[in-house]
């Protein structure tokens, strides 16, 4: 048997170290490849599910836009009707308001004049009687007379 020199032992150690390092790198690369395959499958599954969802969302947005356009048209029609009603109200108030006030004032004046004529006729006054410098109400006067 021959003796192993220091240089040979160092070479064997370096070879073993390199073999272990290559083994660790191979295991790491295998696991990285598995992770990349799993990630690729996950991305494909998400894409398969996301495409129909995006199509549904797009359809919903288009439908909402159609409804908003309809509501906008209705709101503009309501605004037009409101302005027309306001103009009609102003026209009716200016057309009939003045004459109606005059008719009401005339009716009030006639009623006042007719009630004034009745007031000219002397009515029996419930009045008060003065006794010794004091005023006695009519209710008390009736009791005194008896």
Residues pairing with 129 in the sheet: 136
Residues pairing with 136 in the sheet: 129
Instruction: Judge contact between 138 and 128, C-beta under 8 A.
Output: yes
For the ranges 84-88, 92-96, 126-130, the lowest mean pLDDT is seen at 126-130
**pTM (2 decimals)?**
0.40
pLDDT in tens, 65-79: 999 999 999 999 999
In angstroms, the CA 100 to CA 54 distance is 66
Arithmetic mean of pLDDT, 55-64: 94
Instruction: Judge contact between 77 and 83, C-beta under 8 A.
Output: no
pLDDT in tens, 104-127: 888 888 888 888 765 555 555 555
């Amino acid at each position: 048997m021959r003796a192993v020199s220091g240089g040979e032992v160092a070479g064997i150690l370096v070879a073993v170290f390199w073999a272990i390092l290559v083994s660790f790198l191979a295991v790491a690369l295998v696991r990285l490849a598995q992770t990349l395959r799993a990630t690729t499958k996950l991305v494909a599954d998400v894409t398969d599910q996301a495409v129909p969802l995006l199509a549904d969302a797009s359809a919903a947005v288009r439908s909402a836009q159609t409804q908003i356009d309809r509501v906008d048209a209705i709101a503009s029609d309501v605004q037009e009707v409101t302005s027309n009603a306001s103009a009609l109200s102003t026209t009716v108030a200016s057309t009939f308001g003045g004459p109606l006030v005059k008719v009401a004032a005339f009716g009030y004046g006639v009623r006042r004049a007719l009630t004034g004529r009745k007031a000219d006729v002397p009515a029996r006054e419930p009045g008060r009687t003065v006794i010794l410098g004091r005023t006695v109400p009519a209710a008390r006067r009736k009791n005194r007379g008896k």
